[in-house]
């Protein structure tokens, strides 16, 4: 029973007295560069209000002041560790605007680069997911193995993370000498390692008890909320842009879409792991099928201009569909450029999934969404 | 492309438009054309097809009709979610265009397709977001997935969405006092 306070200092008692508001973030490591305003009753979350925007840098505004080529390096900044995939739709859109046909070999090199990038992105995400669920080994292993994927990309593009490798008309440079052999060797090794991840992490009873039935998203809700990527596929919707609307060399490759039924945090974390296995498969296929020689880039005129039209292109990134919408008004710069990113689209799940969840499940649900705050803020 | 033409005629009353845009090309995307025909048949005088390209259809409607058209697109044409909501500022025409990119997860025929539904709101030179005439009806009741996209559009362009349950800032700082930053008259320093 509450202490009887003297008149004048009595606090008004409301039903909400037992509800406490917590600010998780923006400096809290458990939330990334964003804030979650969480109301708890005991340790049950009553409501969650995501507050992104701490790393908003106005990429879309910046793009209106730069021409189609100088836009390349800054547009990959929202996800530097998945930079090939965030540039991919932009490059495809510009190619459609300018009417460029890309050489066959460049299409395959692009697919290989973007799959390697997806691989290294998911390893990064898995490391964070592991450490926030208290599994330090799962932080160390992917963080270490990621170096191999990064080394490959370093050899290929010349930079460890911010590659700026794709350009309208193809790619910047062809394979370095002996790249195919090194690539096959590393990919085979990584594939073997992934199996070991399953034994130590995905079959771990502690992980299963923490993530099974945490934040269940039904199939209907996944569709209604317009989610994308691993969140959507974990809820039983078979949708992957690589198979549904294949771009570049994906048309000629055999891509398998990984779908799970349950829609809980465990399934959402398992989909990226399955995607990594699929990436290995795609890289091997592409290395086999690609033309062994030929041009990789079509030279553009300086300061190319688009027509009076609008283009919407999308690809599958590490976090789901990534679309770029360009409105062109016969200028060297885009009139309006919009990045429709997977993280921003999945943000809507957060208040929805965390409501009624235990506070201790918050990291499992939050990181299971495969959410990257910097990308969502743009 | 004919989008320039359609922009010029925007201020006039929108009349039924023949599907001319893709005609000069050798092969018409048939499925897309059927889809756009369905919409023009249903809302003959109120909608305008701005382009028909492979896998992409552009529709422009008046803001009074947008809810009706969006409901039809959801219920009859099976588009079930919004991929993005983009505001485009046209200061010369004194209008702000809001484009909804709609897609479908449930209908296998529509998986490749993106339908862009555009509408325009009047634009004021001295914006007062939320209080001036730059308003549009919210589509949140029809496509739940637009919730955060419309919030972003409101703060970035000052388009107030009537009927949206949560018209708050999302990405900008709480003490942002300048005009909405995605408008064309908001200039970046040094550019």
Determine, yes or no, domain membership for B74. yes
Is residue A35 situated within a structural domain? Answer: no
User: What is the full DSSP assignment across A129-170?
Assistant: HHHHTT-HHHHHHHHHHHHHHHHHHHHHHSSSS----EETTE
Chosen for mutation from B70, B86, B111 (greatest number of chain A CBs closer than 10 Å) is B86
The β-bridge partners of A192 are: none
B191 to chain A: which residues are within 8 Å by CB? 65
Q: Is the residue at B22 inside a domain?
A: no
Instruction: Choose the weakest-confidence range: A63-72, B19-28, B92-101, B138-147.
Output: B19-28
Residue B145 to residue A131: CA distance in whole angstroms? 31
Tell me which residue range forms the domain holding A228. Answer: 56-377
Question: Minimum mean pLDDT among A79-93, B8-22, B59-73: which range?
Answer: B8-22
User: Going residue by residue through chain A (378 aa), what tens digit of pLDDT does each one get?
Assistant: 455 554 444 444 445 667 788 888 777 666 678 888 888 888 888 888 888 888 888 888 888 888 888 889 888 888 888 888 999 999 999 998 888 888 888 999 999 999 999 999 999 999 988 888 888 898 899 999 999 989 999 988 888 888 889 988 888 888 888 888 999 999 999 999 998 998 888 888 888 888 888 888 888 888 888 899 899 999 988 898 888 888 888 888 888 888 998 888 899 989 999 999 999 999 999 999 888 888 888 888 888 888 888 899 999 988 889 999 999 988 888 999 999 998 899 888 888 888 888 888 888 888 888 888 888 888
Q: How many domains does chain A have?
A: 1
Residue A356: the pLDDT is 85
- This complex has an ipTM of 0.85
Distance, CA of A181 to CA of A190 (rounded, Å): 14
Establish if B99 belongs to a structural domain.
Answer: yes
Flag whether B191 is in a domain. Answer: no
Please confirm whether the linkage preceding A26 is cis (ω < 30° from 0): yes
Higher pLDDT, B42 or A187: A187
> How deeply is A162 buried, as exposed, middle or buried, from its count of CB atoms within 10 A (0-12, 13-18, 19+)?
middle
Which has more pLDDT, B130 or A237?
Answer: A237
Q: Into how many domains does chain B fold?
A: 1
Buried b (16+ CB within 10 A) or exposed e, B135-172: bbbbbbebbbbbbbbbbbbbbbbbbbbeebeebeebbb
Q: Do B188 and A62 touch (CB under 8 A)?
A: yes
Query: pTM above 0.80?
Result: yes
Q: Exposed, middle or buried: residue A26 (CB in 10 Å: 0-12, 13-18, 19+)?
A: middle
Q: Is A278 strand, coil or helix?
A: helix
Could you report the per-residue pLDDT of A311-341, keeping only the tens digit for each?
A: 999 999 888 899 999 999 888 889 999 999 9
Interface of A with B (CB under 8 A): 52-53, 56, 58, 60-62, 65, 223-226, 232, 237, 239, 244-245, 307-310, 312, 314, 321, 323, 325, 327, 335-336, 338, 340, 344-345, 347-348, 377-378
Contacts of A300 (CB under 8 A, 6+ apart): A69, A98, A100, A168, A169
Alpha-carbon separation of residue A40 from A16, A49, A356, A357, A364 (angstroms): 10, 12, 9, 10, 17
pLDDT tens by residue, A245-265: 888 888 888 888 889 988 888
β-strand B56-61 against A19-24: which pairing, if any?
A: unpaired
What is the spatial distance between Cα A101 and Cα A287, in angstroms, rounded to a whole number?
Answer: 21
In sequence order, the 6+-apart residues with CB closer than 8 A to the CB of A331 are A305, A306
Taking the C-alpha atoms of residue B40 and residue B55, their distance in angstroms, rounded to an integer, is 18
* Residue among A65, A225, A226 minimizing CB distance to B191: A65
CA atoms of A11 and A4, how far apart (whole Å): 10
Residue A115: the pLDDT is 92
The boundaries of the domain holding residue B60 are 27-162
Query: d(Cα A31, Cα A23) in Å, to the nearest integer?
Result: 10
Which run of H or E residues covers position A349?
helix A349-354
> Could you tell me if residue A4 is inside a domain?
no
B189 found inside a domain: no
In a domain, B14, yes or no: no
A15 domain residue, yes or no: no
Assess if residue B174 is contained within a domain.
no
Gyration radius (Cα) of chain B, Å: 17
How close, in Å, is residue A87 to chain B by CA atoms?
17
Q: Which two tokens stand for residue A218?
A: 């039904």
Whether the Cβ atoms of residue B116 and residue B102 lie closer than 8 Å to each other: yes
What CATH number should be reported for the domain holding residue A140? 1.10.645.10
Q: Say if residue B191's pLDDT is above 70.
A: no
The CA-based angle B152-B149-B167, given to 5 degrees, is: 60
Structure tokens at A339: 């990045």
Nearest CA among A331, A275, A268, A271 for reference residue A304 = A331
Question: Under 8 Å CB-to-CB from A7, ≥6 apart: which residues?
Answer: none
CATH number of the domain that B81 lies in?
Answer: 3.30.460.80
């Amino acid at each position: 029973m509450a202490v009887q306070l003297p008149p004048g200092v009595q606090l008004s008692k409301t039903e909400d007295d037992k509800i406490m508001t917590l600010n998780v973030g923006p400096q809290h490591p458990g939330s990334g560069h964003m804030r979650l305003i969480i109301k708890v009753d005991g340790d049950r979350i009553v409501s969650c209000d995501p507050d992104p925007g701490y790393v908003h840098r106005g990429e879309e505004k910046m793009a209106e002041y730069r021409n189609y080529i100088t836009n390349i390096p800054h547009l990959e900044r929202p996800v530097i560790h998945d930079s090939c995939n965030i540039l991919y739709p932009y490059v495809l859109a510009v190619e459609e605007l300018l009417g460029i046909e890309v050489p066959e070999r460049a299409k395959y090199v692009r697919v290989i680069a973007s799959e390697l990038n997806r691989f290294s992105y998911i390893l990064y995400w898995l490391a964070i997911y592991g450490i926030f669920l208290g599994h330090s080994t799962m932080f160390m292993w992917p963080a270490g193995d990621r170096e191999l994927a990064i080394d490959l990309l370093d050899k290929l593009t010349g930079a460890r993370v911010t590659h700026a490798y794709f350009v309208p008309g193809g790619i910047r440079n062809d394979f370095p000498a002996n790249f195919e052999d090194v690539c096959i060797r590393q990919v085979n090794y990584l594939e073997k390692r992934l199996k070991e991840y399953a034994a130590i992490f995905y079959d771990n009873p502690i992980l299963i008890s923490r993530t099974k039935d945490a934040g269940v998203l039904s199939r209907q809700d996944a569709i209604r909320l317009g989610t994308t990527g691993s969140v959507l596929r974990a809820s039983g919707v078979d949708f992957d842009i690589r198979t549904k609307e294949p771009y570049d060399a994906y048309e000629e490759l055999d891509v398998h879409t990984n779908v799970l039924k349950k829609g809980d945090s465990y399934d959402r974390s398992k989909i990226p792991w399955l995607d990594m296995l699929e990436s290995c498969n795609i890289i091997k296929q592409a290395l086999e099928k690609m033309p062994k020689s030929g041009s990789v880039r079509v030279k553009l005129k300086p300061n190319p201009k688009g027509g009076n039209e609008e283009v919407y292109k999308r690809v599958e990134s590490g976090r789901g569909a990534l679309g770029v919408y360009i409105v062109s008004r016969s200028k060297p710069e885009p009139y309006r450029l919009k990045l429709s990113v997977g993280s921003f689209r999945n943000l809507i799940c957060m208040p929805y999934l965390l409501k009624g969840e235990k506070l201790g499940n918050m990291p499992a649900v939050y990181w299971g969404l495969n959410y990257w705050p910097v990308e969502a803020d743009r | 492309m004919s989008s320039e033409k359609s922009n010029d005629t925007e201020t006039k009353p929108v009349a039924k438009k023949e599907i001319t845009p893709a005609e000069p090309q050798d092969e018409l995307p048939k499925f897309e054309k059927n889809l756009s025909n369905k919409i023009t048949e249903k809302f003959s005088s109120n909608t305008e097809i701005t382009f028909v390209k492979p896998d992409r259809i552009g529709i422009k409607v008046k803001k009074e009709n947008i809810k009706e058209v969006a409901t039809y697109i959801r219920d009859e044409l099976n588009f079930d979610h919004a991929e993005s909501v983009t505001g485009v500022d046209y200061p010369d025409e004194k209008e702000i265009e809001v484009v909804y990119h709609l897609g479908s997860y449930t209908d296998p025929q529509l998986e490749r397709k993106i339908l862009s539904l555009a509408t325009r709101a009047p634009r004021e030179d001295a914006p007062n977001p939320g209080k001036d005439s730059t308003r549009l009806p919210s589509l949140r009741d029809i496509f739940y997935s637009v919730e955060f996209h419309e919030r972003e559009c409101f703060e970035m362009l000052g388009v107030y969405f009537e009927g949206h349950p949560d018209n708050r800032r999302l990405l900008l700082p709480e003490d942002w006092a300048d005009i909405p930053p995605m408008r064309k008259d908001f200039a970046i320093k040094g550019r």
